[in-house]
Structure 1
Amino acid sequence: MTTSSTNSRKTLSKIASSRLQKELADWQLNPLAGFKHIVTDNLQRWIIDVNGAPGTLYSNDSYQLQVDFPVNYPMEAPQVIFLPPAPIHPHIYSNGHICLDILYDSWSPAMTVSSICISILSMLSSSSVRERPKDNDHYVMNCRNGRSPKETRWWFHDDKA
């Protein structure tokens, strides 16, 4: 799934561009274990390979994240989704949308792409079951026509999965 948000058609602010260039340089100097940034010429959309952590349900699995940065990043959270096939997880919908509070209500401008990746890997690693969210089919059906996960009013109530 490659959603194109309205923001991805607008030019990044100077602050956002500087911040992303710094984050990318930091990433290249100190790459995160289990993650690889796929280099493209688009600073506003990052594709990141994710490898499941050893000793977890997702060890030996590989996925891709698509991170789309809004014009006013880091004041606004990026849109982060899994590209197909998304991991089967109680907080990840089959369309790749991720129910994780730091991507929405708990976002802070102090967070970085690296901290997002660590949170997503932690979420995957702590799961004890491989299953879709109970409302997966209903949610995915209502997200047709490229609806952004940022348009969803998430209810964060379960940090056990």
Structure 2
Amino acid sequence: MATKRRLKTEHAQFKKTPPEGVTLLTDDPTSTRWIVQIAGAPNTVYAGETFQLQLSFSDKYPFSPPEVIFLDNPPQHPHVYKNGHICLSILYQEWSPALTASSVCVSILSMLSSVSKKEWPIDNDSYMARWRISRHGPQKTLWDFHDDTV
């Protein structure tokens, strides 16, 4: 019940004042699965490109983070794997109930804007090989946040 109430509030606020470069595509304010489109910021390696994110909220939201993945063609980025999984600490151990879906999208847009060249994570191939066997979601991954500068 609290999750649905929180999502309705966030949905209304997101639709009313979306972050620059971010569009909420999900119209149902009671949905626990949102699709968001983000546009690469001007003067970055992703300028002119758009990406879709899926945010899945559990019944423990906002006390547990949403599962967030890139859909279809994820950006080639050192913290994004070819299956769309995102290595970003606020989506896991640094999550706070004070964060919102909107602030998560802003953080991801900022993460994309912080790189000067497109490249996959150095462990992408091994991660993808393990994932093909387990098919686990990103929240079941033991992330090693070894590089907070990228």
Q: TM-score band, normalised by the shorter chain?
A: over 0.9
- Number of the residue aligned with 2:83: 95
2:16 to 20, 23, 29: 29
For residues 63-95 of structure 1, the C-alpha deviation after alignment (integer angstroms, 9 at most, x for no partner) is: 000000011100000000000200000000000
Which amino acid letter does the alignment assign opposite residue 106 of structure 1?
E
Task: Output the TM-score relative to the length of structure 1.
Answer: 0.88
Aligned length: 148
- Say if 2:50 is the partner of 1:43: no
Q: Which runs of 4+ in 1 moved over 2 A?
A: 39-42
Task: Output the TM-score relative to the length of structure 2.
Answer: 0.95
- Say if 2:47 is the partner of 1:59: yes
How far has the Cα of 1:62 moved from its partner?
Answer: 0.6
Q: Which moved more, 1:60-69 or 1:134-143?
A: 134-143
The 8 Å contact of residues 51 and 63 in structure 1, kept in 2 or not, is answered as yes
Instruction: Provide the C-alpha distance between the structure 2 equivalents of 1:132 and 1:160, rounded to a whole number of angstroms.
Output: 15
- Say if 2:133 is the partner of 1:124: no
Which amino acid letter does the alignment assign opposite residue 35 of structure 1?
V
For residues 81-127 of structure 1, the C-alpha deviation after alignment (integer angstroms, 9 at most, x for no partner) is: 00020000000000000000000010001100011011001100011
SS of 1:49's partner is: strand
- Number of the residue aligned with 1:137: 125
Q: How does 1:62-73 map to 2 (within 5 A)?
A: 62-73=50-61
- Say if 2:142 is the partner of 1:147: no
Question: Identity over the aligned pairs, expressed in percent?
Answer: 48
Which amino acid letter does the alignment assign opposite residue 149 of structure 1?
P
The 8 Å contact of residues 65 and 82 in structure 1, kept in 2 or not, is answered as yes
How far has the Cα of 1:40 moved from its partner?
Answer: 4.3
SS of 1:143's partner is: helix
Instruction: Provide the C-alpha distance between the structure 2 equivalents of 1:67 and 1:140, rounded to a whole number of angstroms.
Output: 21
SS of 1:128's partner is: coil
CA-based RMSD: 1.1
The 8 Å contact of residues 127 and 160 in structure 1, kept in 2 or not, is answered as no
The 8 Å contact of residues 76 and 107 in structure 1, kept in 2 or not, is answered as yes
Structure 1 unaligned blocks of 5 or more? 1-13
The 8 Å contact of residues 86 and 92 in structure 1, kept in 2 or not, is answered as yes
Structure 2 unaligned blocks of 5 or more? none
Instruction: Provide the C-alpha distance between the structure 2 equivalents of 1:64 and 1:147, rounded to a whole number of angstroms.
Output: 20
